[in-house]
Structure 1
Amino acid sequence: MAYSALRKELSCNICQNLYTNPVSLRCGHYFCYDCIVTGLDTQMESGRYICPECSEEHLERIPLEKNQKLSNIAENFKSLQQEKTEVLCTYCMDSSVTAVKTCLQCETSMCDKHLIAHNKTVDHVLLEPTSSLSIKKCLLHKKPWEYYCSEDSSWLCASCCVLEKHKGHQVELLEEASENKKDKLRNILKKLAPERESAKERIQSMQDEKRKVQEKADNVKERVLALFEDIKKNLEVQENNILSEIARQQEQLTRSVSDKIQQLETQMEDLSKKIDHIEKLCTMSDPLAVLQDSEPDPGDQNDDEEPTFNLDGFVISLMLHRCITDISTKTESRMKFNTEVVTDLRLEVNTAHNFVVVSDDLKTASSSKTNQNRLVAKERFTTYRQVLSIEQLSCRQHYWEVEVSDYGDWDIGVCYPSMEREGEDSCLGNNDKSWSLCMYDDQCKVHHDWEEEDLYLPSTCRKLGIYLDYEAGRLSFYQLGDPIKHLHTSTATFTEPLHAAFYVYNGAWVKILH
């Protein structure tokens, strides 16, 4: 009983639940903040603000005062309570009996026994057992909700219908409004069910794609690891071979040097003996003895050039070259890198703007302040400083690399030959016939059909790779550094052959690498 009494003291008189952020009115009664605010909002139209508990009336909106201590007590009580979730009979004081109905007017819940007694005395609205009666009644008039105003999207009691606020509004019974809403909801369900099924199928499809990506990545990873393992083994073998060759040459040269040293030592010993003998003769006082001694052979003049003892660097370089070439060939073969995708591009002078200089080898386009005064040609760009490649790109894969200046503005990309040659639409990316990666004012972007997307390109990056898979409709840009990084991939269905396209401005230049 003490527990029930304490719970009642800590319960809001509006929602019948434990206080949540309790606030008090001037009369001293407490309510949940959200509950009393909702109640006061309901009373705003009448201009009368009444305490739901003591009915004290105010002409101005009642100020709310928060009670932190009561809030803490309620929160602690919530954490300790072990009550069952079912609604209990209000009248069964000595035992906990589950209620079967709740009377909206009496605000009581009853078991079967007390429900029979209740129904014999009054004819009230009965609901399924609930402890939240506040949402079932009008706080202002203390009457159950019976109608629904579709214009204000609000519930009304009988008294609310006659208020000035709702006069002339389309009002319907709650049951009718509920059924009408259910009909609308059923129609929505008919549309949502197929969409959900479609989403489910797409999720399954994406999960399958995710699995395939994982399988492909695992496969490529396995092949790369196996390849590097073979490369390591091959490198070890070639390393041993080259080191063995160096050791062989070293041994051979060392032996030759040793033989030469031994030969010179013998020669030096003979010379020392002759020198000693001559020095002895030179000290003799007996002329006859000096003259009788045979004159020693002074020896051959050693005019031979000193031999050179160098390692055969050529054979070592040749071995290294063949080793690297073999590894490169095996790598390309095993990873199926098709060198045929590399396209040798040249610039078409007839398309170059008159303030674009094209190098003699047709590989470099540079922005110039000097008019080149070229002949008029229908292919020539006249508004923007652009130039196209001679080669058409279609029907297969293409790859080329470029080097760009570290100053000025530049674009690299592709376009259809039917792209405009003058006016705003003739700029790369300013139409649906071109795709480009550009650098303007030190900001890198990808550009197509007037739409831009920012990219990050380090200021130190001067070399870029462009890969075009025409049939798959993919155009990819790569940062050629250490390591190589993917920058962006554009997708499209290409309908015309493409040309590599370049734009240079403010002293910029772009060079097609061999």
Structure 2
Amino acid sequence: MASYDLREELKCPICWEIYIDPVSLKCGHSFCQDCITRQLITQKGCGCYSCPHCKEESKEWPTLHKNVALCNISEHFLSKHSQGNRQCSIHKLDLTYYCTQDAACICDQCSENEHQGHQMESLGEASEKKKASLKNVQQNLITKRDEMENKVQSLQGRRRKVEEKATCEKDKVSALFKDLKGQLEDLEKGVLKEISISAQRVSALVSDLIDQLVIKKGELSRKLRDIDRELRTMTDPLTVLQESEIGDLYSTDQSGSEDIQKQEGMDLDTTWISHVIQTGVSHITGIVACFYLKEPADIMLDVNTAHNDILISEDLKAASYSPKQNRPKTRERFQDYTQVISSQSFSSGQHYWEVDVGESEYWSIGMCYPSIERGGYQAQNECNKKSWCLRRSGNWYSVIQDNKWIELPASISSDRLRIYLDYESGQISFYEFSNPIKHIYTFTATFTEPLHAALRIWKGCVKISNSGE
């Protein structure tokens, strides 16, 4: 009974076997070192570690203290009981054989009696076979463990990428909202300023009218005084009728009434406010749409439209100024201006494409109809109703359509630009591809033909870039 009680006290609470290399946690509970280590590993992702017995928690990996006394008692107990396990429980003789049929260790008498005729092996031979089998199991487990470790590392790598991507997206969204807030504030300030200017204009007109009416009121007051004075002196009826000329007193200037009637409709015009706000917000929301379109359009330049002073790269993604390419003259090719358009066209939906202009200071980029002229003055991207473009000439930036030039107030700092098309909304927008994306300008039109990407270059090289490069 005492031996049984001692065995129970020497059992690990995790594996319920006699302690092997027992260690203790801070709370005082003991476990096999391998058992508690495996248990703690499973808790690693939870953010804290706890004792399997009493559930006491620790945020840090617990320190494992070797329980020397418990280790000695366990080893002594195992040694004492293992000696009895080396003798046959029936004949009290040393165990010498292993019966493969009954999977039991037996003595000489067992082999001649109960196990006679069974397949038997020496303990050493059976032991080696079992070791070999265990080694196979061990190798399989090692392979599975390594596979799991690889999966864990792969998942950890994926988790890191997700976290990095999330951080990047958060930064981009924060920067975007910062820019959007700035643009909304600028829009608000602009609208409020225009309202104030309109109010000042109306106020000035009203003030002028007030001044005019004050003057006319003074004239009326003077006439009233004159009439009052005349009335006080008019005692003789004959004299009143013969001498008083009161026609000028009866006459009053009617312009005051006319001015009042004319100005009754004077009010602060607010009809424009809604349009300005809607246009401004539309431009701002265009940034969001442009920001979240996943992939750019796969734009390739059509070499059959390229002017003979433009070299088109093999991948059809770059246009360089390079005179005398000696291509055949065709109806599609630009003859007088160093331009090229894309082979792709868009007749619906939302699309964007990006260009790298870092190698040139003289270019024009945008979109055009396929029916754009190929020769003559009207063939220029800037000089017709069939194209919309952003142009740089040295340090001068402008947006142009139908020969109407709008000079941009500030230079563009980024070498990468984004052109965004919303066909149904009739908008072509240009953005500076910085962090965050900055709106440059938006054309608004009603499109009647498919739209092609359009490039014009005087010096250097312009490249169509892929997203993420």
Could you say whether these structures have the same fold, taking a TM-score greater than 0.5 normalized by the shorter chain as the test?
Answer: no
With a CA cutoff of 8 Å and minimum separation of 6, indicate the structure with the bigger relative contact order: 2
Report the TM-score, using the length of structure 2 for normalisation.
0.44
